[in-house]
């Protein structure tokens, strides 16, 4: 029986901007099962980024509940959220977020420092995941010595290094050309096949069609939540972009 990884119930998030209260999320409820591949979409102001921050334990809801692997994380303190992020969630960002003066190996090993692992254990695991993403020959290169696609691969290796249950990818192809985007999506597909839950935040329809389920937000609410019965292959995405 497939187990749920994420369950959010009636999540609301309000922000105070001057004298005005902005209702970024207005009672969102959804469940994500283990090893699902979900695309999260929505226009600017839809609440997509706010929801992503809550799912990633970067923020807490104003009201409502968030269960991550059966643990209620809705009202945890900052240090507790940081611990959850380090253990359960791997992040991949559009802008890579790599330390510019550190090698690929040191960038990937960084989360393991917070996990308390020894230097030898950190290096061994970092080598392992860099090899997994096809960068075993770039371990001692710094970000400015790597292409955009290679930097995103380093970021993905860093996301995988702690064996998280969830990979949260925020516009992972946003700064990449078509060929490199396809390579990164292929890597995400491999990560999904290996058993990870993938939540892909994107505004690109052709990229979203690669996910198995598409959730669309508008005005702080779930506008639609549908199983994708016509999953695009990487070849189809490439063909669409060339046409």
Q: Where are the domains of the chain?
A: 4-242
| pLDDT, average across residues 152-158 | 94
- Give the model's confidence band at 236: pLDDT under 50 very low, under 70 low, under 90 confident, else very high: confident
Report whether pLDDT(174) > 90: no
In this prediction, residue 204 carries a pLDDT of 87
In this prediction, residue 235 carries a pLDDT of 73
- Local structure of 207: helix, strand or coil: helix
Mean pLDDT of the chain: 92
State how far Cα 156 lies from the chain centre: 9
Rounded Cα–Cα distance for residues 95 and 173 (Å): 10
Which candidate, 94, 134, 126, 90, places its Cα nearest to that of 110? 126
Rounded Cα–Cα distance for residues 14 and 33 (Å): 27
Which candidate, 42, 38, 6, 41, places its Cα nearest to that of 211? 38
In this prediction, residue 230 carries a pLDDT of 87
| pLDDT, average across residues 91-98 | 90
- Give the model's confidence band at 1: pLDDT under 50 very low, under 70 low, under 90 confident, else very high: low
| pLDDT, average across residues 211-215 | 96
In this prediction, residue 208 carries a pLDDT of 92
- Give the model's confidence band at 118: pLDDT under 50 very low, under 70 low, under 90 confident, else very high: very high
Report whether pLDDT(114) > 90: no
Which candidate, 211, 213, 197, places its Cα nearest to that of 163? 197
In this prediction, residue 175 carries a pLDDT of 84
Question: Do β-strands 197-201 and 166-170 pair in parallel, antiparallel, or remain unpaired?
Answer: parallel
82: how many CB neighbours lie within 10 A of its CB? 14
Report whether pLDDT(2) > 80: no
Please count the CA atoms within 13 angstroms of the CA of 119 that sit on its side-chain side.
Answer: 0
Which candidate, 37, 70, 74, 38, places its Cα nearest to that of 59? 74
DSSP string spanning 43-96?
Answer: -TTSSHHHHHHHHTTSS--SEEEEEETTEE-TT--HHHHHHHHHHHEEEEETT-
Report whether pLDDT(140) > 90: yes
Q: Which H helix or E strand runs over 110? A: helix 104-114
Instruction: Provide φ and ψ at 210, rounded to 5°.
Output: -80, -15
- Give the model's confidence band at 231: pLDDT under 50 very low, under 70 low, under 90 confident, else very high: confident
Task: Return the CATH number of the domain spanning residue range 4-242.
Answer: 3.40.50.300
């Amino acid at each position: 029986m497939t187990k749920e990884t994420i369950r959010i119930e009636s999540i609301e998030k309000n922000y105070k901007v001057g004298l005005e209260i902005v209702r970024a999320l207005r009672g969102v409820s959804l469940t994500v099962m283990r090893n699902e591949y979900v695309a999260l979409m929505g226009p600017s102001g839809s609440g997509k980024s706010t929801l992503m921050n809550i799912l990633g334990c970067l923020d807490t809801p104003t009201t409502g509940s968030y269960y991550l692997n059966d643990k209620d994380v809705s009202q945890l303190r900052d240090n507790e959220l940081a611990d959850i992020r380090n253990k359960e969630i791997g992040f991949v960002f559009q802008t890579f977020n790599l330390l510019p003066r550190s090698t690929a190996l040191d960038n990937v090993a960084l989360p393991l420092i917070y996990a308390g692992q020894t230097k030898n254990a950190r290096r061994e695991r970092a080598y392992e995941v860099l090899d997994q993403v096809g960068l075993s020959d770039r371990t001692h290169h710094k970000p400015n010595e790597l292409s955009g696609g290679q930097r995103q691969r380093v970021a993905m290796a860093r996301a995988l290094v702690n064996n998280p249950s969830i990979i949260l990818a925020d516009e992972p192809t946003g700064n990449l050309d078509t060929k490199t985007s396809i390579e990164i999506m292929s890597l995400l597909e491999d990560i999904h096949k290996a058993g990870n839950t993938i939540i892909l935040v994107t505004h690109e329809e052709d990229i979203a069609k690669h996910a198995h389920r598409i959730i669309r937000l508008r005005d702080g609410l779930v506008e639609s939540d549908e199983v994708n019965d016509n999953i695009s292959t990487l070849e189809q995405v490439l063909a669409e972009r060339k046409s």
